[in-house]
Structure 1
Amino acid sequence: MSPVFGHGRLRLYLLKLLQESPRHGYEVIRLLQDRFLGVYSPSPGTIYPRLARLEEEGLVTHEVVDGKKVFTLTDQGREELEARVDELADLEQEISDSVRDIAREVKEDVRDTVKSLRDELTQMARDVRQGAKQEQQQARHEQREAWREQKAEWHRQKAEWQRQKREWQRQTQEWKHDWKRVWAETFTGPGSRAGDAELGQMLVEFVQEVREDAAARQVTEETLATAQDALYDAARRIRDALR
């Protein structure tokens, strides 16, 4: 899929998606996944920095809705789209061609799968007619053995996971203690500036709180994308405050 989004092409397509409607970053990712039938799936690390650069260039703006940045195209962004309308039309055609090729490949794969399944069913019926009952019984026996082995492996993995969980909890407690000590030594040692200790303690407490919340909840792809967005914004605000 890289030939479709060569240099500057993904940037142009992001402007086009925002022209259609204001969207947040995760929605843009999902739209690209759907457009390419799940074959092309950009990461948050690909989309969010580009949206940030578009905002720095004045082509988009954002507002926070329900804790998420919703990006909207500006007048300057619309002007760039109008100036590149021919290039956008070429890009749309290339994307349509790519999607059509993907759909054709999927259709061929389904056809081949159905044919293969039909052949297998025919062969199975032939084996039954030819008295292959003993071989089938042996296959079932082997499957049961494989299932028992798999079940035993699942139990072993479960026990190992529980052991690792206990070890992680123990290490987390040690980490909390060591983390406080390291930060305290770092921000109160020789050459540290006034206020460094307070800043270090604030960062320690922040990291601890986030780790505890993450351990108590299920972290999804959308949660990570939202968290990354928030961290980008928080980092920029902290840098501005420390200047």
Structure 2
Amino acid sequence: MSPVFGHGRLRLYLLKLLEESPRHGYEVIRLLQDRFLGVYSPSPGTIYPRLARLEEEGLVTHEVVDGKKVFTISERGRAELNERLDELADLEQEIADSVRDIAREVKEDVRDTVRSLREELTQMARDVRQGSRQDEQSAKRAQQEAKRAQREAWREQKAEWQRQKREWQRQTTAWKEEWKRARAEGFTGEGSPAGDARLGQMLAEFVEEVRADTVNRQVTEETLATAQDALYDAARRIRDALR
């Protein structure tokens, strides 16, 4: 029980409530709950026995209305209430002070709850901003990594093209050397400088045609090996034809 209701004081306050208006037991309980902002909530085991005791003492009476006992203060009860007006005034002041204290505590609890909620929301917003910055930094790093990977791929592709170009030049030089060797072994053309020049022109055109075909194609180790075999085979056939 609330410390406001010391010995005999709840009995006095019940008389005060019934002096205000006839009430049934559940209504008395709800009224006490409301006046103490729900902090003090007397049980039926606290209220109904005291109402029965007041009735035994002749301070209240009851009648049944819609199946419920409705208690009304008697003349004897009013007389006791009038005799204890000073005590009742002190009790009501203490109840007002208690309710004010309760309201202050509730207000402080609400303020603390709001402050805590505000801090949590602020921290959440801070975490969201930090997460956004981290996401932006991660995205920036990913873009930088992609650019570096692309530049590296371009460097590797350029190096491969240069290597293929050198290999083609080496193959061309080797083919020319093979052609010179074939001529040194006995090729005399058609027996005239004009025939020799014509054959040289044909070979030069063949080289340019092959080179043009490979400009827009990806030359790999496998294709280079195949081309080399084809060139050596062509050189052999030309030597055989000219002997």
Query: TM-score range, shorter-chain basis?
Result: 0.5 to 0.7
1:21-57 superposed Cα distances (whole Å, 9 cap, x missing partner):
0000000000000000000010101100100010000
**Cα pair distance change 1:131/1:66, threshold 3 Å:** same
SS of the residue 1:7 aligns to: coil
Q: CA deviation at 1:109?
A: 0.8
Question: How do 1:163-242 and structure 2 match up within 5 A?
Answer: none
The AA in structure 1 aligned to 2:46 is T
1:90-148 superposed Cα distances (whole Å, 9 cap, x missing partner):
000000000000000111111111111111111111111112799xxxxxxxxxxxxxx
1:101 correspondence with 2:82: no
| Runs of at least 5 residues in structure 2 that lack an aligned partner in the other structure | 135-243
1:19 correspondence with 2:19: yes
Structure 2 counterpart of 1:117 = 117
SS of the residue 2:71 aligns to: strand
Larger RCO, structures 1/2 (Cα 8 Å, 6+ apart):
1
Structure 1 counterpart of 2:68 = 68
Q: Percent identity?
A: 90
* Count of residues in correspondence between the two structures: 134
CA distance in 2, matches of 1:17, 1:10: 10
TM-score, length of structure 1 as denominator length: 0.54
The AA in structure 1 aligned to 2:98 is S
The AA in structure 1 aligned to 2:71 is F
SS of the residue 2:42 aligns to: coil
Larger radius of gyration: 2
Structure 1 counterpart of 2:2 = 2
Question: How do 1:44-83 and structure 2 match up within 5 A?
Answer: 44-83=44-83
CA distance in 2, matches of 1:98, 1:132: 50
Structure 2 counterpart of 1:162 = none
SS of the residue 1:91 aligns to: helix
The AA in structure 2 aligned to 1:73 is I
| Runs of at least 5 residues in structure 1 that lack an aligned partner in the other structure | 135-243
CA distance in 2, matches of 1:28, 1:132: 58
CA distance in 1, matches of 2:110, 2:132: 30
Supply the RMSD in Å over aligned alpha carbons: 1.5
CA distance in 2, matches of 1:95, 1:130: 51
The AA in structure 2 aligned to 1:107 is K
Structure 1 counterpart of 2:131 = 131
1:38 correspondence with 2:38: yes
Q: CA deviation at 1:2?
A: 2.9
CA distance in 1, matches of 2:41, 2:6: 15
CA distance in 2, matches of 1:7, 1:133: 66
The AA in structure 2 aligned to 1:47 is I
CA distance in 2, matches of 1:109, 1:3: 21
TM-score, length of structure 2 as denominator length: 0.54
